Chains A and B, each alone.
Chain A
Amino acid sequence: MTAVSTGRRPVRPGRVVLHLFLGTVAVGWLFPILWAVLTSFRSYEYTAVNGYVSLGGWTIDNYVTAWRTAEFGKHFLNSAYITIPAVLLTLFLASCVAFVIARFSWKLNIALLGLFTAANLLPQQALLIPLFRMFTEIPLPAWMSDSELLYDSYWGLILVNVAFQCGFCVFVLSNYMKALPHELYEAAMVDGANVWRQYWQVTMPLCRPALAALATLEVTWIYNEFFWATVLMRTGDKFPVTSSLNNLRGEFFTDNNLVSAGSVLVAIPTLVIFFLLQKQFVRGLTLGASKG
């Protein structure tokens, strides 16, 4: 669709309805977030007396308390321990598979792609019990994890995240790589590049936009991951930041303003990543969609 306006056109009712609709959806989308931000800056004492539909009681104490009680400093670091290796590993492994699928045509191509894509459809929860059992049985040396098991170790969480995220990345990357002109590889082969060089020095640099887009998405997803960390971790001090948000809930009493402040803090890294890599992200999604 091209929207080129050369001068004023009469406003059509359809357009009014469209904008009304878009406006409503946008407000509906932003409202809870903005309200959480607003709430996070207000003291519980004030909102308890005046209700949430009021203004006043401004404070930043919630942020200070949230940071301190939930020990976010430590838990942000835990999240980094899990997210960074998991994203790098996912991208590396997925690009390897995608390269093979896109570059070589052999019998099981479709089947392989199907296998990786189908894994996306598996509900993770259904694998909880077998995985939990496996993890409690797989030993690790003490220098890798003080639990001496895959259970309750960062390694376990990294593995789980890599396993579950690979499918999607393979799917996206293989489609992207298929769009690369085959002549490139022929030229590379003429120049004597082996398969590894074709992968690392020809394909990967060209895939940078796609990798950047995936990295953005994966960081967000793995960082936001809550489920496995809660189930496969036993030591409270090792929880990533999303799971440690629970520390702000009291046994009997939950200060919603405090939880809002904590949630905003936890959301900040994903926002930062998104805004920093926004350009890459959008480019990555559209690149390869049309032939240039």
Chain B
Amino acid sequence: MSRPRSQAEYLARLVPPSVAGLNRRSLLAGAAGAGALLGTGLLAGCGDSDSGSGGDATSVSLGSNQSDPKPKDVVAKVMDGFKTSSGVTVDINTVDHNTFQENINNYLQGKPDDVFTWFAGYRMRFFAAKGLAGDLSDVWGKLDGYSDAFKKASTGDDGKQYFVPASYYPWAVFYRKSVWQQRGYEVPRTLDDLNTLGAQMKKDGLDPIAFADKDGWPAMGTFDILNLRINGYQFHIDLMAGKEAWTSDKVKKVFDTWAGLLPLHQPDSLGRTWQEAAQSLQQKKSGMYLLGLFVGQQFSGADLEDLDFFTFPEIDSSIGAKALDAPIDGYMMARKPKSQDAAQKLLTYLGSKEAADITVKNDPSTLVANSGADTGAYTALQKKAAELVGSATEIAQFLDRDTRPDFASTVIIPALQQFIKDPKDISGLLTSIENQKKSIFTS
């Protein structure tokens, strides 16, 4: 088990399966039992008292995890826009991003806001399947400007939509144009190219690939992209959903490939945060860095303009290099909003071109999901990122959003860190992951 990083995270683990809906290998068997008794009885009784809908509501509440100053401001501006267009006020309840995420179980089973921010992918499907989110198929009937990939990412296991995408960011390999020009590096197209390039960078005194995994999650990005390149999207999603065996040769090949690339990565990554790794790129000490578009937060001014990226090179020509991680953030509706009508109106607005335009205008670092939005204000980097995602055949949501949160945090994080520390014993590691996966996914 990895150590929890915050108190809230620690607490999130204590929620027993019966209540959380997440079947943790809980040590609190006693609490779980008590929770089960209370949980089943009360949860069933919970919904009755809430009244379903009301036609002429004048306000709707929004639970927002956008606590960073800029996005928070943007949310406020978008809600102002909704007020102007519909006359309905939005009460915004902002809770900081991490707390919101860790408390989501409590939040949804307590008295959630009518509309709330959440993530696409498994994390959305999970709560939709538990009946904790409202069906948005009607809203989707009124939305346009979304590619099929986005619609797919908003669809629950039952084929209905439960999610309205708002923004996203891709994961790619970032580099500084000036450094590459000066040294005459070229964007690698294949794994061999990447290895050759890495060897050259080493010769030139650079750490070829900046790398940091102190927080546990950045390495997931590396695993994702290697698995997508080697085994393809469908296998990746099935593996994440617990349907494929981690001990299979396919997964082993991913780790073998990674082990081959590790010498090109910055050493001692377990003691480094992504900010520090990004700074090594910014200070021209590393050649490239596989991370999300948010890497740009560590760059400013001319440095930011110098930043460029390419998608991770192809490994298997029959798979290609068209799939990638691009986590999508957006909105969902509570299972019983105070006013269904107002909530749906708000969600329709949030998915509209107008809302996307307000977002682009006020936060030039996001990519909006609605393709109809006016993206004239995008920087070159954003335009390229939007093109990259637009041309992607499949979009994965990042490991911890594509699988059960407990599996990602208690199994995968320590396993990947173990692998980075000692890349030799791959089969032992995979057996251990598989065993833990079985107990988590079947329990």
Contact = CB atoms under 8 A, between A and B. Distances in A.
Interface stretch (B98-106, B128-136, B173-181, B234-242): B98-106
Contacts of A237: 93-94
Interface in B61-94: 63, 67-69, 71, 93-94
B111 A149 contact: yes
Interface in B6-62: 6-8, 11, 14-16, 19, 28, 30-31, 34-35, 38-39, 42, 46
Given A226-B7, A253-B294, A231 B106 contact: yes
A152 interface: yes
B192 interface: no
Nearest to B300: A45
B96 interface: yes
Contact of A230 (B15, B34, B103, B297): B103
A235 B116 CA distance: 12
A246 B42 CA distance: 31
Shortest Cβ-Cβ A-B pairs, 6 listed: A236-B95, A246-B96, A129-B35, A251-B97, A252-B294, A236-B94
A182 interface: no
Interface of B: 6-8, 11, 14-16, 19, 28, 30-31, 34-35, 38-39, 42, 46, 63, 67-69, 71, 93-99, 103, 106-107, 109-113, 274-275, 279, 283, 292, 294, 297-298
Given A237-B93, A251-B97, A230 B110 contact: no
Nearest to B112: A234
Give the interface SS of chain B, mostly helix, strand, loop or mixed.
helix
A213 to B, nearest CB: 27
A132 B16 contact: no
A251 B39 CA distance: 31
Contacts of B106: 132, 231
Given A126-B30, A132-B106, A243-B99, 10 more contacts: A147-B111, A230-B8, A234-B93, A234-B112, A236-B67, A246-B96, A246-B98, A246-B99, A250-B97, A252-B294
B11 A128 contact: yes
A272 to B, nearest CB: 24
Nearest to A149: B111
Contact of A128 (B14, B39, B67, B111): B14
Given A227-B7, A236-B93, A236-B95, A129 B34 contact: yes
Interface string A219-251: 000000011001100111101000110110111
B38 A129 contact: yes
A61 interface: no
A152 B103 contact: no
A169 B335 CA distance: 43
Interface in A247-268: 247, 249-253
Interface of A: 48-49, 69, 125-126, 128-130, 132-133, 136-137, 147, 149, 151-152, 226-227, 230-231, 234-237, 239, 243-244, 246-247, 249-253
A246 B8 contact: yes
A30 to B, nearest CB: 24
A252 B274 CA distance: 9
Give the interface SS of chain A, mostly helix, strand, loop or mixed.
helix
Contact of A227 (B11, B34, B107): B11
A252 B297 contact: yes
B392 to A, nearest CB: 21
A151 B8 contact: no
Contact of B111 (A129, A227, A234): A234
B38 A253 contact: no
A48 B297 CA distance: 13
Given A128-B11, A129-B31, A130-B38, A251 B68 contact: yes
Contacts of A239: 95
Nearest to B61: A235
Contacts of B93: 234-237
